[in-house]
């Protein structure tokens, strides 16, 4: 039970950190690059998570950003997102292996 609580706590912490990094990236783009934000459609509140869906036109717009603060937020967003996904995949694979061989 303790292991389960620890796994859930780490999952929750990584999810919150990834969400905060994503939100900060959205805010950095909207604050430092308002013209790019307007070209992306200037999404509001609940539409903001759909901002970074990969489409060729959005990818070109976001790759054109040269502001160092926005680029730093983008790096943090990618790192925390990858850590979260890696953790979820690792826990799933380990749990499959555990229940298969146990």
What digits encode the pLDDT tens for the residues 11-54? Answer: 999 999 998 998 899 889 889 988 988 887 776 666 555 666 66
pLDDT in the model for residue 51: 60
Domain span at 73: 24-42+52-102
What digits encode the pLDDT tens for the residues 65-86? Answer: 999 999 999 999 999 999 999 9
Task: Tell me whether residue 7 is in a domain.
Answer: no
Task: Tell me whether residue 78 is in a domain.
Answer: yes
Interval 51-59 mean pLDDT = 72
Task: Tell me whether residue 85 is in a domain.
Answer: yes
Task: Tell me whether residue 6 is in a domain.
Answer: no
Helix, strand, coil content of the chain in percent (nearest 5): 85, 0, 15
- Count up the domains in the chain and report the number: 1
Q: Using an 8 Å Cβ cutoff, are 18 and 86 in contact? A: no
């Amino acid at each position: 039970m303790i292991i389960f609580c620890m796994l859930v706590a780490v999952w929750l912490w990584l999810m919150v950190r990834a969400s905060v990094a994503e939100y900060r990236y959205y805010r950095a783009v909207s604050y430092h690059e308002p013209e790019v934000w307007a070209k992306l459609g200037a999404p509001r509140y609940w539409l903001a998570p759909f901002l970074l869906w990969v489409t060729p036109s959005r990818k070109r717009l976001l790759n054109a950003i040269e502001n160092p603060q926005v680029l730093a937020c983008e790096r943090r967003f990618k790192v925390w997102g990858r850590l979260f996904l890696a953790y979820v995949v690792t826990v799933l694979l380990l749990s499959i292996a555990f229940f298969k061989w146990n």
